[in-house]
Amino acid sequence: MQDNTATNFKNSINARAYHCLLLESPQEKVAQSLKLREEWTNGLLSVERDLEIIDNCDAGWPEKPELVAFNRLPKRTVGSLKGHASMMHSFAHIEFNAINIAWDAVYRFPDMPEEYYDDWSRIAQEEAYHFTLINDYLKSLDYEYGSFDAHKGLWEMVEETRYDVLVRMALVPRVLEARGLDVTPNIIQKFKHHGHHEAAEILSIIYRDEIGHVEVGTRWFNYMCNKREIDAHQTFVDLIERYAVDKIRQPFNEVARMKAGFSAREMEYLNQCSK
């Protein structure tokens, strides 16, 4: 007799997302992310609403890079080849984290509309593409993902927000990932100045896509606030002050942030908060 429950889980995007989340090999995680997204877009997967969710946010990590405290990472200098490679490695690490973040968002919250899973599976696909671009570039410099140490700061916020999709949407895309919108344009210009034009082009692709990723976080945060009939602005302020006030830093790329759904009122608060 066929086990219909097992079959449902096998054909559910959230159960498969958890499997992808646990993969340790970057190459396998990328390949499975692309396959999972393709199956979803082809209508081969559904959402399993009764999937049992494991409380802690486990994710698969390769043996390298070694994960250390942020203050143990050496200062990166764009001018030298090794410094440039180290900086690009830090972006590869962010993108590897971002694949896991996207699949955890799919797995962990089984009660969202189907459009939510479409958004986050697309983000996982795009983050896998970004990671591949950077890792291939690192290989052209005789490095690869794992050649340098990295830190686990992004994932710590994922773990802190595992209990509520509203909190996750407020703090991971709209605080941590939005920081990339602020700093990436300046790094692109530095790379161009030092003749690293291929790296600058890769970061330009990532920057364009990340505006959309932060907008997804904004949209689902606002959706949850509307659903719970709570004020979105005050909720965002309260969550920043509870979890992330130390992570708010100027200068802000207000043009990019407003494209990603930040309101003028939110930007006024962030500017005041970071003085």
DSSP string, the chain: ---HHHHHHHTBHHHHHHHHHH---HHHHHHHHHHHHHHHHTT--B--TTPPPPSS------S-SPB--GGGSPPP-SSSHHHHHHHHHHHHHHHHHHHHHHHHHHHH-TTS-HHHHHHHHHHHHHHHHHHHHHHHHHHHTT--TTSS-B--HHHHHHHHTTT-HHHHHHHIIIIIIHHHHHHHHHHHHHHHHTT-HHHHHHHHHHHHHHHHHHHHHHHHHHHHHHHHT--HHHHHHHHIIIIIGGG--S---HHHHHHTT--HHHHHHHHHHT-
Question: In the structure encoding, which two tokens stand for residue 158, read together?
Answer: 């994922």
Q: Which domains does the chain have, with CATH numbers?
A: 4-48+77-273 (1.20.1260)
pLDDT of residue 186: 95
Please give the average per-residue pLDDT across 4-23, as a whole number: 79
pTM (predicted TM-score): 0.94
Nearest CA to 212 out of 267, 130, 271 is that of 130
Q: Is the pLDDT of residue 163 over 90?
A: yes
What is the percent of the chain where pLDDT is above 70?
95
pLDDT of residue 180: 95
pLDDT of residue 57: 83
Question: In the structure encoding, which two tokens stand for residue 252, read together?
Answer: 């802000």
pLDDT of residue 247: 87
Q: Is the pLDDT of residue 248 over 50?
A: yes
Q: Is the pLDDT of residue 6 over 70?
A: no
Nearest CA to 237 out of 253, 215, 221 is that of 221
Q: Give the confidence band of 9 by pLDDT, cuts at 50, 70, 90.
A: low
Under 8 Å between Cβ of 131 and 205: no
Q: Give the confidence band of 104 by pLDDT, cuts at 50, 70, 90.
A: very high
Average pLDDT, the chain: 92
Q: Is the pLDDT of residue 153 over 70?
A: yes
pLDDT of residue 5: 36
Q: Residue type for 55, please?
A: D
pLDDT of residue 26: 97
Q: Is the pLDDT of residue 4 over 60?
A: no
> Which is higher by pLDDT, 75 or 18?
18
Of the listed ranges 6-10, 124-128, 136-140, 271-275, the one predicted with least confidence: 6-10
Question: In the structure encoding, which two tokens stand for residue 106, read together?
Answer: 């799919």
Q: Is the pLDDT of residue 107 over 90?
A: yes
How many CA atoms lie within 13 Å of 154's alpha carbon, on the beta-carbon side?
26
pLDDT per residue as tens digits for the range 33-84: 999 999 999 999 999 999 999 988 889 999 999 887 766 777 777 778 899 9
Please give the average per-residue pLDDT across 169-177, as a whole number: 96
Q: Is the pLDDT of residue 240 over 80?
A: yes
pLDDT per residue as tens digits for the range 117-133: 999 999 999 999 999 99
Under 8 Å between Cβ of 147 and 28: no
Q: Is the pLDDT of residue 219 over 80?
A: yes
Q: Which residues of 59-92 are buried (b: 16+ CB within 10 A; e: fewer)?
A: bebeeebeeeeeeeeeebebeeeeebbbbbbbbb
Q: Is the pLDDT of residue 192 over 80?
A: yes
